[in-house]
């Protein structure tokens, strides 16, 4: 038997409704704040992610699904959305449009990771990006959007953590402090982090190894090494979060796993889903657009993991699963009755009602069982006698009331459905 690839999932009826609930919530909060949807390719030239996400990241070094096209071009399935959105902004001239530019997307992404609860090789994200605004107010706009989204879902036990990782001006001094600290403990670090010590020591702070995490706990804090401009930006961020009454914790261990981040980084962390606890994360990436060939254009964004949000919903949310129901199910006896039922269903569907009739060839008893299974609100039974008299019994399945329906009077049938 052929099975789905490892680290992927089938989203079946009964479960897909949760995903629709999340996606609808995302679209609604974005509409309120003026964010417009963008869609972009599932795969891009590999160099986009090498230059944008960063060659020293685990994503690029270990996790991307990369293939060589017939013309020799290297392509990769998207491991995240920000680099692709930035490429689309440049390529389509949006970088020269009126600012700020507010975009959102709902996509699937791909990373070759070790599957576990909340972590998949194909996973789904709701993301939002804001370009062309450098102020702390823009940071809060994005964080407030994410906060509104999570509040709309009604998931409990989620906390906001924020940090600042500085800018190209102040980060070199911080990197030197990290190298000095980790060098004295290099023999205890995992092999990957030993390599990071010389390439990108900030990545050590993001390592998931328990040993490296323990060592990193006492590492120098980013907030102690900020330049005056970054420090003022971070204070402005906190003041505006307070003004919006958004609760947060300053967490110096948040650096995020991608190279393009500058200054503000943040995560919404769930207390209810185990090790993979970050359900939404993001930050500022002021140099990314320029880095991949565009103009100097600031940006900030986030991505929320839909897979993890679905897990979080199991511990409580505003989602209330309602069974799909059909306005009318028409049970039939005989070929002529089947033709008439098809005609009535077609007319009702044109008018916006949901209607079904038997297409399998079931017995009348089996048809009525099926009507119950699909949660039909009303039923109509048509046989030779009903065709001859032009009348049929209409039954409300919720209260059992019966009424007479004229098969030739669609308007009366509609009134019964109302």
What CATH number should be reported for the domain holding residue 136?
3.30.930.10
Task: Indicate if the pLDDT at residue 55 is higher than 80.
Answer: no
Do 64 and 160 sit in the same domain of this protein? yes
Please report whether residue 321 resides in a domain. no
186 — pLDDT class (breaks 50, 70, 90): confident
CATH of the domain at 386: 3.40.50.800
Do 284 and 363 sit in the same domain of this protein? no
Task: Indicate if the pLDDT at residue 285 is higher than 80.
Answer: yes
Please report whether residue 23 resides in a domain. yes
Please report whether residue 206 resides in a domain. no
Please report whether residue 195 resides in a domain. no
Do 291 and 389 sit in the same domain of this protein? no
Q: Rounding to the nearest 10 degrees, give the CA dihedral for residues 232, 237, 242, 243.
A: 100
321-345 mean pLDDT: 92
| Boundary-marking domain end, from 286, 313, 340 | 313
In the prediction, which pLDDT does 107 show? 98
Work out the percent of the chain whose per-residue pLDDT is above 90.
67
Calpha distance 328→349 (Å, rounded): 10
Calpha distance 317→265 (Å, rounded): 26
Phi, psi of 244 (to 5 degrees): -85, 0
194-213 mean pLDDT: 82
Please report whether residue 306 resides in a domain. yes
Do 40 and 143 sit in the same domain of this protein? yes
Calpha distance 340→269 (Å, rounded): 57
Structural domains counted in the chain: 2
Please report whether residue 5 resides in a domain. no
Do 238 and 387 sit in the same domain of this protein? no
| Boundary-marking domain end, from 278, 313, 348 | 313
Strands (DSSP E) contained in 247-296 are 249-250, 262-270, 278-284
Token pair 């940090």 is found at: 163
Task: Indicate if the pLDDT at residue 130 is higher than 60.
Answer: yes
200-213 mean pLDDT: 82
Please report whether residue 89 resides in a domain. yes
Do 394 and 307 sit in the same domain of this protein? no
76 — pLDDT class (breaks 50, 70, 90): very high
* CB-CB contact of 346 with 385 (8 Å): no
| Boundary-marking domain end, from 284, 313, 342 | 313
* CB-CB contact of 328 with 135 (8 Å): no
Do 131 and 239 sit in the same domain of this protein? yes
Do 349 and 293 sit in the same domain of this protein? no
148-161 mean pLDDT: 92
Domain that holds residue 104: 16-170+226-313
Token pair for residue 317? 């949310």
Give the residue, 339 or 210, on which the prediction is more confident.
Answer: 339
Please report whether residue 260 resides in a domain. yes
56 — pLDDT class (breaks 50, 70, 90): low
Give the mean pLDDT of the chain.
Answer: 91
Q: What is the pLDDT of residues 2-41, one digit of tens each?
A: 999 999 999 998 889 999 999 999 999 999 999 999 999 9
What b/e string do you get for 305-318 counting C-beta neighbours within 10 Å, with b at 16 or more?
bbbbbbbbbeeebe
Q: What is the pLDDT of residues 214-229, one digit of tens each?
A: 888 888 888 889 999 9
In the prediction, which pLDDT does 94 show? 97
Do 392 and 309 sit in the same domain of this protein? no
Do 410 and 296 sit in the same domain of this protein? no
Do 103 and 158 sit in the same domain of this protein? yes
In the prediction, which pLDDT does 276 show? 57
* CB-CB contact of 291 with 260 (8 Å): yes
Instruction: Say what the pTM is.
Output: 0.87
In the prediction, which pLDDT does 273 show? 62
Q: Which residues contact 129 (CB under 8 A, 6 or more apart)?
A: 81, 82, 85, 86, 102, 103, 104, 299, 300, 301
In the prediction, which pLDDT does 156 show? 82
Do 231 and 286 sit in the same domain of this protein? yes
Task: Indicate if the pLDDT at residue 258 is higher than 70.
Answer: no
Distances 271 to 77, 158, 309 between C-alpha atoms, Å: 31, 6, 12
Task: Indicate if the pLDDT at residue 373 is higher than 80.
Answer: yes
């Amino acid at each position: 038997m052929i099975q789905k690839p490892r680290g992927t999932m089938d989203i079946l009826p009964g479960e897909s409704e949760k995903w629709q609930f999340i996606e609808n919530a995302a679209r609604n909060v974005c509409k309120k704040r003026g964010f417009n949807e963008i869609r972009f390719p599932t795969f891009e030239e590999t160099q986009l992610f090498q230059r944008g996400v960063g060659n020293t990241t685990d994503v690029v070094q270990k996790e991307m699904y990369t293939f060589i096209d017939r013309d020799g071009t290297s392509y990769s399935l998207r491991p995240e959305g920000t680099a692709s959105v930035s490429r689309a902004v440049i390529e389509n001239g949006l970088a020269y449009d009126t600012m700020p530019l507010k975009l959102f997307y709902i996509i699937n992404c791909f990373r070759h990771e070790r599957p576990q609860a909340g972590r998949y090789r194909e996973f789904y994200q709701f993301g939002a990006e804001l370009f062309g605004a450098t102020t702390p107010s823009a940071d809060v706009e994005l964080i407030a959007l994410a906060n509104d989204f999570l509040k709309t879902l009604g998931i409990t036990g989620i906390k906001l953590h924020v940090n600042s990782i500085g800018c190209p001006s102040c980060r070199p001094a911080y990197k030197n402090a990290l190298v000095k600290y980790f060098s004295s403990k290099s023999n205890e670090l995992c092999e990957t982090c030993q390599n990071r010590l010389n390439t990108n020591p900030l990545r050590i702070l993001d390592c998931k190894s328990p040993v490296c995490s323990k060592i990193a706990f006492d590492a120098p804090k980013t907030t102690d090494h900020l330049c005056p401009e970054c420090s003022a930006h971070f204070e402005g961020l906190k003041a505006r979060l307070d003004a919006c009454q958004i609760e947060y914790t300053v967490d110096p261990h948040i650096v995020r796993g991608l190279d393009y981040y500058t200054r503000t980084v943040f995560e919404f962390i769930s207390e209810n889903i185990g090790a993979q606890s970050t359900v939404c994360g993001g930050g500022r990436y002021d140099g990314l657009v320029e880095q991949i060939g565009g103009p100097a254009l600031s940006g900030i964004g986030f991505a929320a993991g839909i897979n993890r949000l679905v897990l979080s919903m199991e511990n409580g949310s505003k989602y209330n699963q309602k069974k799909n129901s059909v306005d009318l199910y028409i049970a039939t006896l005989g070929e002529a009755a089947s033709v008439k039922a098809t005609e009535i269903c077609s007319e009702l569907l044109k008018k916006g009602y949901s209607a079904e009739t038997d297409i399998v060839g079931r017995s009348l008893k089996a048809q009525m069982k099926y009507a119950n299974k699909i949660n039909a609100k009303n039923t109509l039974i048509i046989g030779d006698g009903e065709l001859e008299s032009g009348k049929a019994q209409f039954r409300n399945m919720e209260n059992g009331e019966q009424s007479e329906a004229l098969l030739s009077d669609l308007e009366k049938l509609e009134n019964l459905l109302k």
